[in-house]
């Protein structure tokens, strides 16, 4: 395939709109879908607050909420705020009301957008003309808005009672829940009265669900205004990708969408370092991953690289892209940082991991415990801080917390400038304890996978896979052992009160189900400001002997001595956890009283089954699909995946039962079309040609778009023969269904004996 003929699949400039192109965050989407399901049943739905830093993917998630709500046939109102919308109460609530009424009329309410009611509304709000015929003006807010605008009384307060009456009028006409999606909620951060009215209106008006996005700066205001937020809003945090697996998926999926059936041809996914470098450099932020990959793919299209490889030249491309959007001479932070030499950049990086959350002594504690005084000393860190403050790069809060004086652009630009110098500089807002946990994880990882060669300075070579993984955070060894024992107690329910520990333990024990026990090591760091605990285990059973956990005590003795000198300490405890049989693990899940835990585990097995599109190991995926089904996942999405895997493994009878159950579960038109297509394959394999043709005709009549990664397709060399092949790539369901219908229409099955 000539990649120069393909579109660049990495669109860093725009949020994701297509569900098929959305990557990761499956648990988050399931939680959102749960509350959307509640919106269709509950009188007062739970509102959602999607909160996270800029460029973390909030708008993309909001787009997925939009698609999921549309699939449930809810009325969806999209409100994209800008600064002018929050100037006055009337301006803000006009934006809200206009979106609600327009959406309602587009769905046919009040006769539709061409009917007299909506046209009268437009005349009121645009020409400020008050109609004499109230029959076609059933709303109060537009009248208040027009009168205020006509009198130039822009500061008039909103009439709560009138606005609430209008909301009820619209909801009664629409006859279904209305979901209002508000993007860029930070516009309201300085408008307390707007938030108070928003709370009062929608807290007391049934039939509406609010979903609002914002950064962390919005949350304290909302927490105060909504008294407390948990009573009106469910907070959902959206941060960077936490795992390299999510980053790998974001690299892989766009390649597949443009028709590259085997992405390994253009990116070395089998090389652990390649994904790790992009994940670490981007900090797991989807925007930056897309930005990097855009230029990796661009260089390959231009013939400057044989594959997507991260090099110094790529960093230059990214840096130049950033420079074209800004006047760097007007940015004092960038000017100051670009004058720094590598040793000074190292000091800057050590100071800016917990901006606004930690001071000099805390950052020195982390530096000294893990690195000693080889790179920096307490005095050199103090001197560097003074210099950075004098240069306007850093500052100090009233309580001596280190602050970064730049904005998001400065953070990103400084990161790529420093990386070109061979130094990592990543400005982050981590609390001190999570930062210590991350440093601890990195330290243990580097002990087992040490490779000092930089991919930017030396020939590329494969790095070994991680031998050890962090499994639990904040769990004391005794507590972990106590819960592990519960899996062997016939009368105990390990999921009953473990707050997620048992769920994590379940996945680890399931991974090691082929051995009798798994060694774990618990490491605790005590500091004057708090304690962190991390528990590690081998990455997989085959690595138990190779990872040699017994080497850790000597490895951490020096760290303990340094921590003690700073009034802290490092403690280590090793355990062997017995592994129950897989049947015993599943029995515990089926018997637990914790329905939420069972649903979460079912969702995890569904994701593992769905990973067939990457692994192409149908038998392994089918085991996970069967387990998710036993745990109660009867959603259309899972029934379809399970049914498809049964087709791949040669069990069309079981596939038919599952796919018929999926049709009964119901879903969007696109999802139902996919189920019907797979059902047609099961039916024809079972000898029911007429039933298969009926399902295919229904699919073709629906004429819906549904991109697919893989499908089983009937092929025929002659009318009396029929074979089935599994196709991979960027497949269009509608086109494949038309092709299948032509093949089956021409097929003449041999007569039965």
Left if phi > 0, otherwise alpha if psi is -120 to 50, otherwise beta: which for 42? beta
Residue 234's CB: how many other CB atoms inside 10 A? Answer: 16
Please tell me the predicted confidence (pLDDT) of residue 457: 35
**∠ at Cα 221 (217, 227), nearest 5°?**
140
What does the DSSP 8-state code read for residue 43? S
**Residue 48 CB-half CA count within 13 A:** 28
Task: Give the residue ranges of DSSP H helices in 302-392.
Answer: 312-324, 332-337, 342-351, 360-371, 378-390
Total residues found in the chain within this entry: 753
Please tell me the predicted confidence (pLDDT) of residue 464: 47
In this structure, what are the phi and psi dihedrals at residue 343, rounded to the nearest 5 degrees?
A: -60, -35
Cβ-defined contacts of 696-700 (< 8 Å, 24+): 696/737, 696/740, 696/741, 696/744, 697/741, 698/673, 699/673, 699/733, 699/734, 699/737, 700/734, 700/737, 700/738, 700/741
How far is Cα 717 from Cα 725, in angstroms, rounded to an integer?
13
Q: If you search the block for the tokens 């327009």, which residue do you land on?
A: 102
Structure token pair of residue 400: 């001596």
How far is Cα 417 from Cα 450, in angstroms, rounded to an integer?
25
Residue 64 near residue 238, CB atoms below 8 Å = no
Residues of the chain with pLDDT under 50: 226, 228-230, 450-464
- Strands 569-578 vs 517-527: parallel, antiparallel or unpaired: antiparallel
**∠ at Cα 376 (372, 382), nearest 5°?**
125
- Sheet with 569-578, strands from edge to edge, namely 468-473, 530-538, 517-527, 569-578
Q: Collapsing DSSP states into helix, strand and coil, what is residue 444? A: helix
131 Cβ partners below 8 Å, 6+ apart? 120, 123, 124, 137
The pLDDT mean for the chain works out to 85
The DSSP result for 606-673, as a single string, is: HHHHHTHHHH--HHHHHHHHHHHHHTT---HHHHHHHHHHHHHTT-HHHHHHHHHHHHHH---HHHHH
Rg (CA), the chain: 29
- C-alpha separations of 107 from 42, 91, 167, 174, 447 in Å: 22, 25, 16, 8, 61
Q: If you search the block for the tokens 């090099």, which residue do you land on?
A: 311
Residue 77 near residue 187, CB atoms below 8 Å = no
Residue 570 near residue 369, CB atoms below 8 Å = yes
What does the DSSP 8-state code read for residue 263? G
Residue 50 near residue 236, CB atoms below 8 Å = yes
Structure token pair of residue 570: 């490092």
pLDDT in tens, 611-631: 888 788 999 999 999 999 999
Residue 213 near residue 62, CB atoms below 8 Å = yes
Domains assigned to the chain = 25-237 (3.40.50.300), 244-430 (no CATH), 468-587 (no CATH), 594-746 (1.25.40.10)
**Residue 397 CB-half CA count within 13 A:** 12
Please tell me the predicted confidence (pLDDT) of residue 614: 78
Work out the angle between the directed axes of helices 595-610 and 26-39 (0-180°, nearest 10).
Answer: 120
Structure token pair of residue 749: 């099955």
How far is Cα 349 from Cα 319, in angstroms, rounded to an integer?
19
Please tell me the predicted confidence (pLDDT) of residue 192: 75
Which helix (DSSP H) or strand (DSSP E) does residue 523 occupy?
strand 517-527
What does the DSSP 8-state code read for residue 157? P
Residue 88 near residue 155, CB atoms below 8 Å = yes
């Amino acid at each position: 395939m000539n990649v120069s003929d393909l579109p660049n699949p990495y669109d860093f400039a725009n949020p994701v709109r297509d569900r098929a192109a959305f990557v990761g965050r499956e648990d988050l989407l399931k939680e959102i879908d749960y509350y959307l399901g509640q919106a269709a049943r509950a009188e007062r739905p739970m509102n959602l607050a999607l909160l996270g830093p800029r460029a973390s993917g909030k708008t993309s998630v909001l787009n997925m909420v939009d698609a999921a709500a549309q699939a449930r046939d809810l009325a969806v109102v999209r409100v994209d705020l800008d600064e002018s919308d929050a100037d006055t109460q009337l301006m803000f609530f006009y934006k809200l009301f206009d979106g609600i009424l327009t959406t309602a009329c587009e769905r046919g309410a009040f006769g539709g957008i061409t009917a007299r009611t909506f046209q009268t509304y437009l005349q009121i709000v645009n020409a400020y003309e008050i109609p004499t015929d109230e029959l076609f003006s059933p709303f109060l807010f537009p009248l208040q808005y027009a009168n205020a605008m006509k009198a130039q009384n822009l500061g008039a307060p909103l009439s709560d009672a009138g606005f609430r009456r209008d909301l009820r009028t619209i909801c009664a006409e629409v006859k279904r829940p209305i979901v209002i999606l508000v993007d860029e909620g930070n516009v309201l951060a300085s408008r307390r009265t707007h938030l108070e009215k928003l709370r009062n209106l929608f807290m007391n008006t049934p039939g509406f669900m609010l979903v609002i996005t914002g950064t962390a700066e919005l949350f304290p205001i909302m927490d105060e205004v909504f008294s407390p937020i948990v009573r009106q809003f469910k907070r959902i945090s959206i941060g960077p990708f936490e795992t390299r697996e999510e980053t790998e998926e974001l690299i892989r999926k766009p390649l597949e969408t443009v028709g590259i059936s085997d992405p390994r041809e253009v990116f070395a996914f089998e090389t652990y370092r390649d994904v790790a470098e992009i994940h670490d450099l981007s900090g797991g932020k989807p925007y930056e991953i897309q930005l990097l990959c855009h230029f990796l793919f661009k260089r390959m299209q231009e013939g400057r690289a044989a594959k997507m490889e991260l090099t110094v030249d790529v960093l230059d491309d990214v840096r130049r892209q950033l420079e074209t959007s800004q006047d760097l001479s007007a940015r004092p932070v960038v000017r100051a940082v670009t004058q720094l030499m590598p040793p000074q950049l190292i000091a800057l990086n050590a100071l800016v991991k917990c901006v606004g959350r930690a001071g000099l002594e805390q950052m020195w504690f982390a530096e000294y415990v893990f690195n000693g005084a080889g790179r920096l000393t307490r005095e050199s860190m103090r001197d560097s801080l003074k210099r950075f403050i004098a240069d306007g790069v850093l500052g100090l809060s009233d309580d001596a917390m280190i602050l970064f004086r730049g904005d998001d652009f400065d953070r990103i630009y400084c990161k790529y400038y420093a990386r070109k110098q061979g130094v990592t500089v990543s400005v982050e807002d981590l609390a001190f304890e999570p930062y210590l946990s991350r440093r601890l994880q990195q330290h243990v990882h580097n002990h087992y996978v040490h490779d000092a060669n930089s991919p930017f300075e030396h020939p590329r070579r494969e790095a070994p896979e991680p031998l050890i993984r962090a499994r639990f955070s904040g769990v004391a060894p005794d507590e972990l052992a106590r819960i592990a024992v519960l899996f062997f107690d016939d009368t105990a329910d390990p999921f009953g009160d473990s707050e997620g520990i048992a769920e994590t333990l379940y996945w680890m024990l399931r991974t090691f189900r082929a051995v009798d026990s798994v060694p774990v090591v618990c490491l605790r760091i005590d500091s004057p400001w708090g304690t962190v605990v991390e528990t590690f285990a081998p990455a997989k059973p085959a690595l138990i002997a190779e990872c040699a956990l017994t080497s850790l005590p000597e490895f951490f003795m020096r760290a303990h001595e340094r921590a003690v000198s700073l009034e802290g300490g490092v403690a280590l405890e090793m355990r062997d956890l017995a592994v129950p049989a897989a049947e015993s693990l599943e029995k515990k899940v089926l018997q637990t009283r914790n329905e939420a835990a069972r649903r979460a585990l079912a969702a995890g097995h569904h994701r593992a089954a769905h990973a067939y599109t990457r692994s192409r190991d149908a038998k392994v995926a089918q085991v996970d699909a069967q387990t998710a089904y036993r745990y109660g996942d009867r959603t259309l999405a899972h029934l379809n995946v399970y049914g498809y895997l049964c087709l791949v493994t040669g069990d069309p009878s079981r596939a038919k039962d599952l796919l018929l159950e999926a049709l009964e579960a119901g879903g969007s038109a696109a999802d139902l079309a996919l189920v019907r297509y797979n059902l047609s394959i099961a039916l024809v394999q079972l000898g029911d040609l007429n039933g298969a043709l009926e399902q295919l005709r229904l699919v073709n009549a629906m004429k819906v778009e549904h991109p697919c990664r893989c499908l089983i397709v009937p092929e025929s060399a002659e009318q009396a023969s029929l074979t089935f092949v599994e196709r991979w790539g960027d497949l269009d369901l509608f086109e494949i269904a038309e092709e299948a219908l032509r093949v089956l229409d021409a097929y003449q099955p041999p007569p039965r004996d």
